[in-house]
Amino acid sequence: MAITVEMIKELREKMGCGMMECKSALTEAKGNFEEAIDILRKKGLAAIARRAGRAAAEGVVDSYIHIGGKIGVLLEVNCETDFVARSADFQAFTKDLCLQIAAANPQYVSRDEVPDGIIEHEKEIIATQAKGEGKPEKALAKIIEGRLEKFYSEVCLLDQLFIRDQKKVVKDLLGELSAKIGENVVIRRFTRYQLGEKS
């Protein structure tokens, strides 16, 4: 199948990649648009892994106050250049994250931040619950592992389902943004305030 300029443009608009990358993906996929998207996404994930070690010292501190002034969020997201920090894609990403934090109330950015003591305590609770449900002893390790995943999906921002699209988790959005802009992006920290809540 002949690869047309229109096909390349359409793929570029959808994926935000360079013209040559889009042409190469379409050629590899023999003109199949969906396959070309998969090819670009896979290449993007590989590129993200390479970028992860690069310094991300620029970025923004964004904020959000919920209607009625009862919930507020302060968020720092870093990237490699000031140019990207001012881009519409980056700004939209930070706004979405502020809304996510306000609505879903994560406690940590990632699993690495969850203190060992909290994880051990959670494991004890899960084990006690499972035993109370009459689950066999040999199945406990698997049950604990599965329920810990659920715990992480509630308390870790990167593991939460995205409020605007429940088919994605926040780390998927982070990966998509990094692939699109070609820079390492790091969610550094956040603080969520709720009126009347004790710190």
Give me the domains of the chain, ranges plus CATH numbers.
5-51 (1.10.8.10), 58-109+156-194 (3.30.479.20), 115-154 (1.10.286)
Of 92-96, 135-139, 169-173, the poorest mean pLDDT is in 135-139
**Which pLDDT does position 100 carry in this prediction?**
97
pLDDT for the residue numbered 40 = 75
Question: Quick one: average pLDDT of 167-189?
Answer: 90
What is the per-residue pLDDT for 120? 93
Mean pLDDT along residues 34-60: 69
H-run or E-run covering 65: strand 58-65
Instruction: Write down the pTM of the prediction.
Output: 0.70
- Sign for the pseudo-dihedral over CA of 164, 166, 168, 169: positive
Please, what is the average pLDDT of the chain? 86
pLDDT at 11: 76
- Note whether 179 and 14 are within 8 A (CB): no
Q: Which of 24-38, 117-131, 158-172, 177-191 has the lowest mean pLDDT?
A: 24-38
Measured between its terminal Cα atoms, the distance across the chain in Å is 62
Q: Which two tokens stand for residue 198?
A: 């004790």
